[in-house]
Amino acid sequence: MNRYREIYVKIRSGLDRFFKTDSDYLIRSGAWGIFSDAAVAILLFGLSLLYARILSKDAYGSYRYVMSILSIGGFLLLPGIHTSFKRLAARGYEGSYRKDIKYRLLASFLLGLFGIGAGIYFILFRNDLVIGIGVIIAGILIPLERGTGSYIDWFAIKQKFRRKAFSSIIEHIFFFAVMALSLLYIRESTPSVVEIMVILVSAFYLGHGIPKTTYLLRILKEIPEIENKEKEKEAFRYGLHLSAGSIIPTIANNVDKVLIYAYLGPVSLAIYSFATVLPDQIRGFITSFDSAVVTKIFAKKSSDLDKLPTKLLRASLAVFLIVILYIIAAPFIYKTFFPRYIDSVVFSQIYSVGLIFLSFIYLNSAMVAKGHIKRVYAHRGSVSLLQIVLLAILVPALGIMGAVLSRVVIRFIESIILYSLFKIK
């Protein structure tokens, strides 16, 4: 036993030297994150197999379009308030997290109204009943899913990583069961196109929303009923600033799917969605440490964050090796599991290159922790506007490849912008 302990200590010491950080904290928190993300990835991979085998490309592309419309309106959730109150709770003011839950739930109804309004627009002015009904259903159900998501970060704040992992797994098992049964029903009953959309959208939001609501009700009993009005007012104001800065980034992060659907149609959107699904799951593995890292960043003093860029560069080198392995394996994976989407392979390989620059996004969290609101605005505004411009030019010109190249190029440019802003004295 002592021998294994010695080996562990040596490995941990090596990681400490390479990444210049407390690897024991990351291993304790990240190990559960990796376990959780591995389980979730298996479940989502299973759903991807069902999507590919049961749904037509047209139906799946239309479904992804509906989800992207609601995602574009995600800035209405005022995500900066959640970030600000999470920061406050991580610094010891845990009772203030109740306010975050309240604000998030109220904001989710605003997003729901956006969805209902967008759905009515599609029906009345675009004569598109399928998309319109889908967006309306999403608008009605979205408070159940998006308004109750604060529970997961509470576990990170309390450093209850095991509980966080198992709650995420249980949520996704429930979601998998609901969505899988819905897909099997679609296969056996051959419903109309409108009915397929209603089934898929309802399954998504109920599948996630029911377990999220259950967990949220549980953690409310754990959060102390202690207010700190001055700190909460400050956090709210800061959160509003952050939320204002999230408007353009939220649109930029989801406009690719809208443009592909508009210019190329649902089939091309289905191909693009399958091209990004595996790299995005890899992204999930890489960001298994995300909650732990961000919580650690928020708890650090400003002067302690100056060494962060060096640590992130080392992390990027590790991700580079993962990307190379994926590029080699991608043709086999798609040929074996997604033969109907073999056209997605090249797009997926190129898209995965953007993962190399992923770790530099933590510089944004560091600037938030330091309170550098103007730099946060500069980062989000410049990167997002450039991304929208690139997508608007390249998608009509190059189709799916234009969207993929835009994503990779913008990740590289973003890392340079973040580093430059972070180093300003």
Helix (H) or strand (E) holding 296, with range, is helix 290-299
- At 228, give phi and psi (nearest 5°): -135, 85
Residue type, position 324, single letter: I
pTM for this predicted structure: 0.85
160 SS3 class: coil
* Structure confidence at residue 4 as a pLDDT band (50, 70, 90): low
* Structure confidence at residue 305 as a pLDDT band (50, 70, 90): low
pLDDT at residue 13, as a whole number: 63
**Backbone φ/ψ region at 122: left (φ over 0), alpha (ψ -120 to 50), beta:** alpha
Q: What percent of the chain has pLDDT over 70?
A: 86
Place of tokens 């004569």: 127
Interval 201-212: pLDDT, tens: 999 999 999 999
Which segment, 37-51, 155-169, 395-409, is predicted with the most confidence on average?
Answer: 395-409
Query: What is the per-residue burial (b if ≥16 Cβ within 10 Å, else e) of 307-340?
Result: ebbebbebbbeebeeebeebeeebeeebeeebee
Instruction: Please report how the helices 362-370 and 79-90 are oriented relative to each other, as an axis angle in degrees rounded to 10.
Output: 70
pLDDT at residue 331, as a whole number: 96
Residue 150 confidence (pLDDT) above 60: yes
Q: Report which of 299, 284, 425, 420 is spatially closest to residue 363, judged by C-alpha positions.
A: 420
Residues 320-329 have a mean pLDDT of: 94
225 CA to centre of own chain: 30
Residues 231-237 have a mean pLDDT of: 84
Residue 18 confidence (pLDDT) above 70: no
Residue 28 confidence (pLDDT) above 70: no
Residue of 88 and 31 predicted with greater confidence: 88
Structure tokens at 48: 């991807």
- At 34, give phi and psi (nearest 5°): -65, -45
pLDDT at residue 152, as a whole number: 81
- Please report, in angstroms and rounded to a whole number, the separation of the first and last CA atoms in the chain: 49
Decide: residue 301, CB within 10 A, 0-12 exposed, 13-18 middle, 19+ buried.
exposed
pLDDT at residue 12, as a whole number: 55
Dihedral sign of CA atoms 132, 64, 248, 208 in order: positive
**What residues does each domain of the chain span?**
22-239, 246-425
Interval 340-354: pLDDT, tens: 999 999 999 999 999
Dihedral sign of CA atoms 124, 128, 130, 132 in order: negative
Q: Residues 118, 76: contact at Cβ < 8 Å?
A: no
Residue of 198 and 314 predicted with greater confidence: 198
Distance (Å, rounded) from C-alpha 165 to C-alpha 162? 5
Interval 163-175: pLDDT, tens: 888 999 999 999 9
pLDDT at residue 286, as a whole number: 72
Distance (Å, rounded) from C-alpha 170 to C-alpha 46? 16
Residues 266-291 have a mean pLDDT of: 85
What average pLDDT does the structure give for the chain? 85
Residue-by-residue DSSP string for 240-294 = HHHHHHTHHHHHHHHHHHHHHHHHH-HHHHHHHHHHHHHHHHHHHHHGGGHHHHH
Distance (Å, rounded) from C-alpha 164 to C-alpha 308? 26
